[in-house]
Amino acid sequence: MKNAITYFEPVHGSTQSAFDAERYRQSVELYDAQRYTEAFHTFLDSLNPKFRETYGNAEGTEFHIPHGSIVVDIHLTDDRLRIHADFMELPAKGSVAMLRQVAGLNTNQLLLPTFLLEGNRLTLDYTCPMQRTHPAKLYGVLRDICYIGDQYDDEFAAKFGATRLYTPNVQPYSAEETARLYDAIQTICREALAAVKEYDANRQGAYSWNILETAVYQILYTAAPQGQLLNELDKAVADLDRDLPLNELNQKGAEALRKLAAMSREELARDLYHVDTLISTKRRSSLRNVQDNLREVYGQAEQAIQGGNFEAAAIRMLYKFYEMYYYCDVQDNINGVVARALAKASGQPWEEAAEALYDAMDALMEGNLEGDDDTDFDFSAAIGEAAREMQENLQATVGDVQSLVQEMQQKMAEALARGDMQEYMRLAAEMQQKIMQQALGGNQ
């Protein structure tokens, strides 16, 4: 591989989070002052200031906010909050297998919200007293509901034949944009697979792995796909990050790209669209967390450049920059620095590409940015504080919880043995609710 990979303009010019940190701070202050309804309204404004007017009632007690393929229903009373989302209707056949997977999500991925089975309809549900509605906790609840609800609907529809309970409001990309992105994806796949063939022949498997995962990240960054295509690309990332021999990882990554390259333009277009969102499932960037994530590769790149290994330096920096976009909503001033460098390095010989990418990384590490980067606010830390508080409460009642879990697991095993998946689901949800009640002092 003689030159750096080709850069393509992303479909979304701005990668910045819509989250308003100042409004969030105000919501925490209101919560601390025990003005719970005002705190919730301000928290909702921090996600999007148009939500209350667009999706709420005049009293500010009821909201129906779309997110991808679900609608999140929020109901407030003077003393209680309920968050609810209709998910899917069970298929006529194969419902037991689907419910097994849902039960796994209940116990392994969902912390506070839970799946409930109401007849043949699955819903996501969470309720708590208003005095337990700390904004950081609510952010986590909404993020879980939105992530699980929007990710698994396509999988369950394709895998089990389940039916969506809501038809999402989507705006397909224009024909011109779809054609541009199709050509871009074809080029990304072609360049990556050609590079992997060359690197594998030279026993440079680590280079192949970096190129493959970078290609998947780049497709996600460039095209911002939705639906089943997004799920498949997320799976490709997960597969490449598994603890397996390097050659197996590279085989999986190459197969994912070959499968994508074989898609027709019409097949690709089905998952290229804009859709309403309530909350981003990515982390909100700050200069500090970007610097923390780049620091190791920054040092590696500097050493590689000093040693004349421009190819290694550029490949690692390309990987880290595209990885950043995968995990973070990148604020505009950081995005501007990185996107310009990616465009400048596009198709260039390795030395020129490495120089452009290193200059960008150096600017970020030195903090040479224009505009306010809001580094004094780390939202993930706020969520972490809430999680630690819940963990402390859980540890304080660990004996009661262990006894409860043993009892409920026995009942669940009995329900599973007799094939009663509806009872199994009910018990799984009940166990989750009781555990959280114990952890939060008897109230969620």
Please determine, for residue 192, whether its predicted confidence score (pLDDT) is greater than 90: yes
Question: In sequence order, what are the residues at sequence separation of 6 or more whose Cβ sits closer than 8 angstroms to the Cβ of residue 127?
Answer: 80, 81, 82, 83, 444
Mean pLDDT of 291-302: 96
Q: How confident is the model at residue 321 (pLDDT cuts 50, 70, 90)?
A: very high
pLDDT at residue 214, as a whole number? 98
Q: Tell me: the pLDDT tens digits for 223-260?
A: 999 988 998 999 999 999 999 999 999 999 999 999 99
- Cα–Cα distance, 102 to 278 (Å, whole number): 23
Of 159-168, 337-346, 390-399, give the range with the top mean pLDDT. Answer: 337-346
pLDDT at residue 110, as a whole number? 84
Q: Tell me: the pLDDT tens digits for 21-78?
A: 899 999 999 999 999 999 999 999 999 999 999 999 999 999 999 998 889 999 999 8
- Cα–Cα distance, 351 to 116 (Å, whole number): 56
User: Would you call 243 helix, strand, or coil by DSSP?
Assistant: coil
pLDDT at residue 18, as a whole number? 86
pLDDT at residue 385, as a whole number? 47
pLDDT at residue 428, as a whole number? 73
β-sheet bridge partners, residue 127: 82
Q: Tell me: the pLDDT tens digits for 263-279?
A: 999 999 999 999 888 98
Q: Where are the alpha helices (DSSP H) in 109-204?
A: 135-160, 175-201
